[in-house]
Structure 1
Amino acid sequence: MSMMYSQAAPGDDPLGIVAQGLSRRFGAVHAVQHIDFHAPPGKVTALIGPNGAGKTTLLLMLASLLRPDAGTILIDGRDPSRDPAAVRLRIGWMPDSLGVWGSLTAREILVQIARFYRMPEAGIRERAEELLHLVHLEALADQPARVLSRGQQQRLSLARALVHDPSVLLLDEPASGLDPASRVDLRNLLRSLAGAGKAVVVSSHVLSELDEIADGAAFVSAGRTVKQQSVLEAVQHGRRYSVSALDHAALVAALTGFGVEFRPEAGPRQTVSVFVTDDGAAAALLAGLVQAGVGVVSFAPAAGALEEAYMTMETERR
């Protein structure tokens, strides 16, 4: 994973997605009030926020499917309000459900989407086969989409978004309905696509997995951007670690002696959580416990860095 995450101003990097001051209302409801958002090429950017925060509305505007009431959007330097056809050629959009054409087979859907993008007919079927293999749907290629499971439809939806080899990917809850093996495949695929230079945006409630996928994240709440930061920056803000030992009393005594605040965690094993400011502090605490003769059984982050940042944001908001 890249150790740096671009926070460039719009003029510094015209590629990927650059959005400023986006607002959108539906009647009296302000779904998005003021969002600034940057998703650079070659990175996976997570879009994180509670239900009703405006994430899907933002994605629809970025996909040029919904016009903002105010603000500007650039996709690879192009304005979708002025040149929507050129922008849509650069965008792969994966909504949170497959949607239409339940009577068509998986192969027929991919072929038809390719024709919509006016791809050369000679290469369309080969492209469809390539994508069916990529998302492990070869055995179901001739099954109607309506008989596919939720997870299988999600994989087909991802293949559909990739048909025209877009430079920008917008994925709304892509892991929904996927089994554990498919989630790993998705994570590896998204990292590969980012490594090939694509700007990948993922909106997901599965925060525990985003640390393994994302280079950075934009946090939104009540239709506004709260912050945008890299995973490395999130780690440097500190997080809680879960600790357990063979002798719980010895662990508690050692932490008390070190002056480290802790709190018990629910679960079958007696575990406590402690807050550490950075990885160095975590390593020093573990070394201290071992030197004190505590038989440490587990010592690991209680949550991912982005999940920790989100929970902190939500606590402060409330």
Structure 2
Amino acid sequence: MSIATTSNTPNPGALSGALGVSAKGVSRHFGAVHAVEHVDFRAPAGKVTALIGPNGAGKTTLLLMLASLLKPDSGTITIDGLDPAQDRAAVRLRIGWMPDTLGVWESLTAREILVQMARFYRLPAARIPQRVADLLELVRLDTLADQPARVLSRGQQQRLSLARALVHDPSVLLLDEPASGLDPGSRVELRKLLRSLAGEGKAVVVSSHVLSELDEIADGAVFVNQGRTVKQQTIEEAALAGRRYAVTALDSEALMAKLRELGVEFRVEAGRRPAVTLLLTHDAGAAALLSELVTSGIGVVSFAPATGALEETYMNLETEQR
């Protein structure tokens, strides 16, 4: 299904060349608390960019500033080349903001919420009903369209929040924990939808703690900690840095003896059937090691990545921070 706007107004992203999101040296303090401190951030058009960091790292504060809902104390932000401080109305037409909770209007129905949002963005009145119907179908809420938002489950409210962010066909999407509360099937659908939206040329920013999901959808990531940017990385760069693999065998002692013979460093992980984990820098190395183990008569039961590429980077950064 197409999710293009039903308005006669050209797509805002097309007006500006869909340049995406940029922040340079952005800071925001709340009294003595430095929530964000000189953060650099880039989310190009046509890509999904993950925003990753522990609780309290400043992710939500940064997203609020990118959404023009919070003014930075210093630094610059541009959305499709526009400065929110100078042209806030034009910037907000380009932004689709999905907070981590649905928020207000819980007494309104899902349909009423989307209709009201469409009116706020001044979509042509005659086209609003079809636009709303398309979005409700897109997020699989068409059968619940006339139910009050308060009776929707957490996952259903998340899907409604996403539809609300898409109502005006923005060129930039800022999503704070969009997969929170979603069932496994809905998570898969979300991944496909976000990839599709990026394929249309939108800049998609996703903040999430589910790093395995981000591996599947992100083109790159910005890691933040204690209010600062600590690393920016593409998925390709993350993969080249290596990831940890978990290996189990019918005879764990024989497996470990063979790994020692090959000079492969590993560590033993607790479990019903003890597994060993080891760091491999590329898929070819993993394939070669598996072949060597099987050829040597080791009864390998499982051999698979124990972490995603982004999770490996995150854990390494956490170790460095300590």
- Within the candidate set 19, 34, 44, 2:48 is matched to 44
User: What is the CA–CA distance in structure 2 between the aligned matches of 1:251 and 1:290, rounded to whole Å?
Assistant: 10
Query: What SS class does the counterpart of residue 298 from structure 2 fall into?
Result: coil
User: What is the CA–CA distance in structure 1 between the aligned matches of 2:200 and 2:303, rounded to whole Å?
Assistant: 35
User: Which residue does the alignment assign to 1:76?
Assistant: 80
8 Å CA contact 2:114, 2:167 repeated in 1: yes
- Within the candidate set 39, 60, 67, 1:63 is matched to 67
- Within the candidate set 216, 235, 252, 2:256 is matched to 252
User: What is the CA–CA distance in structure 1 between the aligned matches of 2:98 and 2:18, rounded to whole Å?
Assistant: 23
User: What is the CA–CA distance in structure 2 between the aligned matches of 1:41 and 1:24, rounded to whole Å?
Assistant: 25
User: What is the CA–CA distance in structure 2 between the aligned matches of 1:51 and 1:145, rounded to whole Å?
Assistant: 28
User: What is the CA–CA distance in structure 1 between the aligned matches of 2:35 and 2:252, rounded to whole Å?
Assistant: 49
User: What is the CA–CA distance in structure 1 between the aligned matches of 2:141 and 2:38, rounded to whole Å?
Assistant: 40
Residue 127 (1) aligns with residue 131 (2): yes
User: Which residue does the alignment assign to 1:196?
Assistant: 200
Segments of structure 1 that go 5 or more residues without pairing to the other structure are: 1-12
Segments of structure 2 that go 5 or more residues without pairing to the other structure are: 1-16
User: What is the CA–CA distance in structure 2 between the aligned matches of 1:209 and 1:245, rounded to whole Å?
Assistant: 28
Residue 18 (1) aligns with residue 22 (2): yes
Matched pairs, number = 306
User: Which residue does the alignment assign to 2:186?
Assistant: 182
Q: CA deviation at 1:290?
A: 1.7
After TM superposition, where is structure 1 displaced by more than 6 Å over at least 4 residues in a row? none
Deviations 1:216-270 (A, max 9, x none): 1000011110010011101111121000112222211211110111111122222
Q: CA deviation at 1:14?
A: 7.5
* AA in 2 matched with 1:52: G
Q: CA deviation at 1:56?
A: 0.3
* AA in 2 matched with 1:77: G
User: What is the CA–CA distance in structure 2 between the aligned matches of 1:125 and 1:269, rounded to whole Å?
Assistant: 57
Deviations 1:110-131 (A, max 9, x none): 0000000001001101000000
8 Å CA contact 1:46, 1:214 repeated in 2: yes
User: Which residue does the alignment assign to 1:238?
Assistant: 242
* AA in 1 matched with 2:174: L
User: What is the CA–CA distance in structure 1 between the aligned matches of 2:272 and 2:143, rounded to whole Å?
Assistant: 42
* AA in 1 matched with 2:111: R
Deviations 1:102-149 (A, max 9, x none): 110000000000000001001101000000000000111000001111
Output the aligned Cα RMSD: 1.1
Deviations 1:178-197 (A, max 9, x none): 11111111111101111111
Query: What SS class does the counterpart of residue 257 from structure 1 fall into?
Result: helix
The TM-score, its normalising length taken from structure 2, stands at: 0.93
Q: CA deviation at 1:277?
A: 2.1
User: Which residue does the alignment assign to 1:312?
Assistant: 316
8 Å CA contact 1:14, 1:74 repeated in 2: no
* AA in 1 matched with 2:78: L
Residue 137 (1) aligns with residue 141 (2): yes
The TM-score, its normalising length taken from structure 1, stands at: 0.94
User: Which residue does the alignment assign to 1:206?
Assistant: 210
% identity of equivalent residues: 75
Q: CA deviation at 1:22?
A: 0.2
8 Å CA contact 1:22, 1:32 repeated in 2: yes
* AA in 2 matched with 1:104: L
* AA in 1 matched with 2:151: V
User: What is the CA–CA distance in structure 2 between the aligned matches of 1:263 and 1:236, rounded to whole Å?
Assistant: 21
User: What is the CA–CA distance in structure 2 between the aligned matches of 1:137 and 1:14, rounded to whole Å?
Assistant: 29
* AA in 2 matched with 1:233: E
* AA in 1 matched with 2:91: V
Q: CA deviation at 1:64?
A: 0.4
User: What is the CA–CA distance in structure 2 between the aligned matches of 1:129 and 1:108, rounded to whole Å?
Assistant: 11
